[in-house]
Structure 1
């Protein structure tokens, strides 16, 4: 008698992952990716299950880093200025924890001057992680001592301080470059290079597309902005002439102009009342528009901010701003 065997084969692929964090760099190094196939079938009325062997694959550490200059544009500085501030961010874009020694280069080509190293240090780490340089709070960077150690996706803000030579002129630029390089990579940094057992959890470490090192450059721009004030006077006496006699009126005109690059912030003009004169009420104007004598919502006052002075606030001015014209009158006592 011949027995009938009916078999149905089902292949089930079961992939088991360890506890891996969701991160931009991918699965964490050291995670064991296991894989096992299962066949289920029937022989007659019997159900049979057979498992394959289990394969194991340990995820390697992929080493990548990104350095980015954070300032919105060139940082404005004046000739001879000290501690010009550039802000950078070093981000671990790999999948494991990595330490990144830093290096600074202030002698770059393609600019007009080399910024000077500051004392005691030109590189500081954002100790309180607020993204703002705090003198006396943020730590000076010492290579080999406090190299930033960053988990995957973590970053450290780094501040570069540079002194500006006194000999620079308006519109000159000076550049500084910050480089972060992974400490694990002690030899070749060619992408794909493997360092056996050097990764997290004893995994292999592999150089990523960043070549485990990155550099970005920040720029100082010399802004020798200058505010100039030219003052003139005209006299009208009670007889229709221009003699400076008691009762004559003096009209003062002040012209405010700006030259150079950058912005003069919070420009305020003050002018004391000359001795032996009395301010003529209601004569203060800015660009032909009348200003009240009292200290109120407009841009000027007479004696309100400082007794005996005309005060006019002009705000922020650049070389493209129109000439600011201030006029007021006094009478000779």
Structure 2
């Protein structure tokens, strides 16, 4: 900072201080502003007023670099395996006393504790960053795909989305941790990221110095590095289906229903039981297809019964006749299967 002064003459009677105007905002007085402090001295000689004497001091405000990246909301983002464009929301606030650009990075965790207490267990794919258009709702068609924020004013706040795709084949409650890191940069040309900031070393200079004032580190940065970061996460909510196929002989042409044996002409009851794990999400539109071998013939008189139950490990004949058979393939659809539930597809065939 540069300081100038003028020697005060004669005997001081009264010092009056007038300060230059400052800009009022949370980040403080704007970097590069000059602050002028002028003192005025009135005095007399032999009882006669003399001309006032003044002395001024002018200094330049240095640049304080500070920023905050914050997760918006306090809950994980619930996702389904195979879903695309799943987003987490962050704000980037320029707490500096000067406009700045901000380089943006989307980071993924690897096996560590995530923002909402889970343990990172998978990696999202196609991770990218969008700048919100002002409506605070992610929309790929109207928001802007970015790698940096351009010319954020002092005290300016921008909302950005970290957007990812979720792989198939994940289990219920698996978690992926993501983070957004912003690094302050010089203001570059329009639509271009500015150069890296350089902190002033050594003593105070007459020009505008730069001080990294981000004294509190974020989740994925260090203190006083002109960067800040925050984390969010994705938690998988999915169905967890298992399937079991069983059969039993219900009658044969010799013994009837008393101790029937698996001989030609005997009737086989096939049961396909589909179960969803307790606590899992609902599974919908479950289609069961069972091609029959050429050693058996479908029994159309019994039909294909769906949504039946299992009791004591035995499939019950309590489903609705709603399935079909075509070309030797038996099909049935279970519309919805809640977590913890089991439903069946049941049909008969005759041994050739």
Please indicate the TM-score interval, normalised by the length of the shorter structure. Answer: 0.5 to 0.7
Map of 2:65 onto structure 1: 63
Map of 2:182 onto structure 1: 180
Indicate conservation of the 8 Å contact 1:194/1:204, yes or no: no
Task: State the secondary structure of the residue aligned to 2:96.
Answer: coil
Cα offset, 1:80, TM superposition: 2.5
Coordinate RMSD, CA, aligned: 3.5
Indicate conservation of the 8 Å contact 1:75/1:220, yes or no: yes
Cα offset, 1:78, TM superposition: 1.7
Map of 2:227 onto structure 1: 213
Indicate conservation of the 8 Å contact 2:40/2:55, yes or no: no
Map of 2:142 onto structure 1: 137
Map of 1:51 onto structure 2: 53
Say if 1:8 and 1:84 are closer, same or farther in 2 by CA, change over 3 A.
closer
TM alignment of 1:287-306, pairs within 5 A = none
Map of 2:164 onto structure 1: 162
Give the paired residue count. 220
Map of 1:16 onto structure 2: 20
TM alignment of 1:85-100, pairs within 5 A = 85-100=87-102
Task: State the secondary structure of the residue aligned to 1:115.
Answer: coil
Cα-to-partner distance string for 1:17-76 (whole Å, 9 max, x where unaligned): 3xx432110011121101122222222321134434311111112111110111330111
Cα offset, 1:224, TM superposition: 2.2
Indicate conservation of the 8 Å contact 1:125/1:139, yes or no: yes
Indicate conservation of the 8 Å contact 1:196/1:205, yes or no: no
Whole-Å separation in 2 of the counterparts to 1:153 and 1:104: 23
State the TM-score, normalizing by the size of structure 1.
0.57
Say if 1:86 and 1:196 are closer, same or farther in 2 by CA, change over 3 A.
farther
TM alignment of 1:221-240, pairs within 5 A = 221-224=235-238
Map of 2:153 onto structure 1: 151
Cα offset, 1:157, TM superposition: 1.0
Indicate conservation of the 8 Å contact 1:148/1:156, yes or no: no
Question: 163-172 or 29-38: which moved more?
Answer: 163-172
Indicate conservation of the 8 Å contact 1:106/1:114, yes or no: no
Map of 1:125 onto structure 2: 131
Indicate conservation of the 8 Å contact 2:178/2:233, yes or no: yes
User: Which 5+ residue runs of structure 2 have no aligned equivalent?
Assistant: 1-10, 113-118, 187-194, 216-223, 242-275, 285-337, 342-352
Indicate conservation of the 8 Å contact 1:92/1:155, yes or no: yes
Indicate conservation of the 8 Å contact 1:117/1:161, yes or no: no
Say if 1:37 and 1:113 are closer, same or farther in 2 by CA, change over 3 A.
same
Indicate conservation of the 8 Å contact 1:225/1:259, yes or no: no
